[in-house]
Structure 1
Amino acid sequence: MNESILTTSAAARLLGVSIRTVQTWIEQGIVASWKTPGGHRRVRREDVLALRERLVARESSTSVPVLVIGSEELARKCRAALASLPGVSVTTESDALSGLVAAGRLTPALIVVELGRSDWERLGLVRRLVTSQLLAHSRIAVVSEASADQVRIDLGAERRIQVLAPNFDPEVLTEGLVLPAQNKSAEAQSLYPVPSDEMARLHAVARTLLVDTADEPDYDAIARMTAGLFDVPICLVTLLTPDRQWFKARYGLTVPETPRAWAFCNYTILQKDVFVVEDATADSRFQSNPLVTAEPTIRFYAGAPLYDYEGFALGALCVIDRKPRVPEPSRVQTLQILASLLSDRINLRTRTRQIRWSGRE
């Protein structure tokens, strides 16, 4: 056999996973394959090596950050509470100024602040955290001997603030940080594939502060231009949240979102290359999808992933047609280039907010 062509068992050994896992990845389109005349699956060695590099990069990527500003005793309690959640990293700072700098650097999913009575420095810190657009996605837990009512008199009735007594139940810290798929039934999980770094990926999506924002002419223009280049009736800029596929821009559709389970883009975010479905009615993954069986009656789909500056897939730039088609390789390459440029635009916005926070503007 040609050394550049591998069996599924050889691919499994190269990746360090089971044969069944490789077969699942092949079924999901993560690894391109074909069948021999005898009905056996084969894959290219270069594709398997590329997947291995992506898996290694994903395993070493930044996890979901949690920031604790307070005593070492509080830090130990928080670490113990969050230890059961894979992919969560805890950073601790003891003083308000260092905590403020760390908050801007990490943009944490959760910030825990120990607030003593008459601690005006930390009170000012929490006010800064709450009002910052950079940290609008962050949940803030204030640990204080003062009552919740007293704390809210000083901080206002901000919904993101959770007031905890010093003897708080550690389990309350895990609320909102649990991987959504962990709460789904096995049947629900089978509706669509979930990335192995889903928790960190969702944090990256939230950090963009794009979800549920108003339409923007620049994004709409990108969708309109891409649809024209591909000569398709529909183009979308999507972001995948825990339960929704939300459209930052859309051309040819009026609805602002769909359920996450319906999203073709669930498969796009699993790979670096453009994900193509030439005829959805002939693909077992999408034949019964409501977007295929009813409006907009998707047949052709091509999507290129959008990445944040740490390499997490946020969603996709995708084109859709109501009739089957085979895209030209040059068109596919163009879609990937446009998605890369759009990713740069999204990341520029996020990084600009971080630079302003750090005072380096």
Structure 2
Amino acid sequence: MPIERHVSKNMIKEDPVLTTREAAELLGIAVSTAQIWMESGALPAWKTPGGHRRVRLSAVRQLQAQQQAAPPAPPVSAAPAPAVEAAPSFEPPSSHALLDTPREEVFERLVRLAAHATECPIALITVLAGQRQWFKARVGIALQETPRDWAFCNGALATGALFVVGDAASDARFAANPLVTREPHIRFYAGVPLEDAQGRRFGTLCVLDREPRRLRARETRALQELAEIASDEVKRRG
């Protein structure tokens, strides 16, 4: 029995318990995002008798390893096209006026329309800044943000055009992405880049599905037109 207690204490020292804030700092994300990941099961955690979430360091390290393994290369079109590696690189601004602003009905309406027009369960208006992908508007998903390395939108911003990933799970560039391997288990992505008044590409209007699929011509047109409306609204603000 004394030996077992000694081993148990050593294991605790090697794999300490972290608070939500400590886990968020290690992962480089907001505390609110860490809370969502814990609640969704993306980051295994438990609640103390006082209602506080706790997580083992090993679980955080495992998630970090998955982040590093997920290729950050931009998405490839579902239709035959030049390899994505040939696309121009794109470095988003370190910040943007929309970043961390309150939800607005004008953008919420656009994501609802995009989801309806394409028959996708998830639609987002994303803002990429620094190492963050933040969601200005969203429907069908609880996440508020992700690391930029996880962003399918990198490809749309790199080329300035619609990008479609027909089946992320069978695409080597995305098969290990935590958004694919864990909740929300993304399989399909289509995104159109958004521009501000300075002509900078800063994010996308995108739709996602948990099943592989393609966009029909009318769905593509609808997504592009809604993205143009979103860009116009941002440009109007200067």
Normalising by structure 1, we get a TM-score of: 0.42
User: In the alignment, residue 202 of structure 2 is paired with which amino acid?
Assistant: L
Determine whether 1:202 maps to 2:93: yes
User: In the alignment, residue 130 of structure 2 is paired with which amino acid?
Assistant: P
Match of 1:320 in 2: 208
Instruction: Verify the 8 A CA contact 1:301 1:320 in the aligned structure 2.
Output: yes
Determine whether 1:301 maps to 2:175: no
Determine whether 1:243 maps to 2:131: yes
Deviation readout 1:270-306 (Å, 9 max, x if unpaired)? 1232100011011111000000001000011100000
Q: Distance in 2 between matches of 1:345 and 1:270?
A: 22
Q: Size of the alignment, in residue pairs?
A: 163
Q: Distance in 1 between matches of 2:162 and 2:108?
A: 21
Where does structure 1 differ by over 6 angstroms across 4 or more consecutive aligned residues? none
Instruction: Verify the 8 A CA contact 1:306 1:316 in the aligned structure 2.
Output: yes
Determine whether 1:344 maps to 2:232: yes
Match of 1:269 in 2: 157
User: In the alignment, residue 224 of structure 2 is paired with which amino acid?
Assistant: Q
Q: Distance in 2 between matches of 1:269 and 1:245?
A: 12
CA offset at residue 311 of structure 1? 2.3
The change in CA–CA distance for 1:28 and 1:257 in structure 2 (over 3 A counts) is closer
Instruction: Verify the 8 A CA contact 2:167 2:188 in the aligned structure 1.
Output: yes
3-state secondary structure, aligned to 2:229: helix
3-state secondary structure, aligned to 1:301: strand
User: In the alignment, residue 228 of structure 2 is paired with which amino acid?
Assistant: S
CA offset at residue 310 of structure 1? 2.9
Instruction: Verify the 8 A CA contact 1:307 1:314 in the aligned structure 2.
Output: yes
Instruction: Verify the 8 A CA contact 1:304 1:316 in the aligned structure 2.
Output: yes
Listed as ranges, the matches of 1:162-241 within 5 Å are: 194-195=89-90, 198=91, 201-202=92-93, 206=96, 209-241=97-129
The change in CA–CA distance for 1:345 and 1:278 in structure 2 (over 3 A counts) is same
3-state secondary structure, aligned to 1:236: strand
3-state secondary structure, aligned to 1:343: helix
The change in CA–CA distance for 1:213 and 1:238 in structure 2 (over 3 A counts) is same
Q: Distance in 2 between matches of 1:33 and 1:27?
A: 15
Match of 1:279 in 2: 167
Q: Which runs of 5+ in 2 are unaligned?
A: 1-72
3-state secondary structure, aligned to 2:160: coil
3-state secondary structure, aligned to 2:93: helix
The change in CA–CA distance for 1:294 and 1:344 in structure 2 (over 3 A counts) is same
Q: Distance in 2 between matches of 1:279 and 1:28?
A: 11
3-state secondary structure, aligned to 2:218: helix
Q: Distance in 2 between matches of 1:341 and 1:277?
A: 23
Overall identity of the aligned pairs, in %: 43
User: In the alignment, residue 286 of structure 1 is paired with which amino acid?
Assistant: F
3-state secondary structure, aligned to 2:158: coil
CA offset at residue 29 of structure 1? 3.7
Q: Distance in 2 between matches of 1:224 and 1:297?
A: 20
Q: Which runs of 5+ in 1 are unaligned?
A: 1-25, 35-40, 43-47, 56-193, 352-361
Q: Distance in 1 between matches of 2:200 and 2:170?
A: 30
The change in CA–CA distance for 1:318 and 1:283 in structure 2 (over 3 A counts) is same
Normalising by structure 2, we get a TM-score of: 0.63
Deviation readout 1:225-257 (Å, 9 max, x if unpaired)? 111111111000000011110000000111210
